[in-house]
Structure 1
Amino acid sequence: MRKRWKIKQVDEELKERLSRSLGLHPAVSRVLVARGIRCEDEARRFLEADLSYLHSPSKLKGIDKAVKRIKKALDKREKILIYGDYDVDGITGVSLLYTILNKFTDNLTCY
């Protein structure tokens, strides 16, 4: 079965306005509009990402419990399994967590 790319239709006027106002290539502004970005400020915030835009990790559900469990495993020298999805964010998350935890223990496994 062959897959076919479907190019999402976007507001051409908005695309052109973002291209002109921000000095972007039309292909870049097309992607921004397709992602739901509707104004110059939203585009700048997306393109000029800053750590201050991130949500606090302390707001993640269950994070306190997870941190305590990881700390306990490190203290007791238990083996730690890092499990993640096979998509881009899953692989990235596993890689980051492995890189950080590997500074404290070599008793790690990834799946």
Structure 2
Amino acid sequence: VFKTGDLTIPLDRYGFDGAGTKSGPCVFGIRPEHVAFGEAANSMPFATDAAVEIVEPMGSDTLVWTKLGDRNFSFRVEAEKTLRNGDPVRIGFDPARASLFDIPSGNRM
């Protein structure tokens, strides 16, 4: 599992690299385009509720910043979607699409 603040993300679907480190302090990363939003989040292996903190229009899409546990977290939505700071959102993703990086070495776990 990956723990951040009060949030626990199961990693049973995560593909650890080889015989390297599988525990200890690490950074959790997932591409914003791999995060589902709204009703689509409920079909993901992991889903949680969050609140919008920053809305960053990028032209053809919008990057939305929130917190995942106690960490900054971003996901992408269509440019036409209207979100404001403080809006509640449902987000979800497949932890198998994430990457974990060992903090001391920087290597992918």
TM-score range, shorter chain: under 0.3
TM-score by length of 1: 0.20
Larger radius of gyration between Structure 1 and Structure 2: 1
Choose between structure 1 and 2: higher helix proportion. Answer: 1
If asked which structure has higher relative contact order (CA below 8 Å, sep 6+), I would say 2
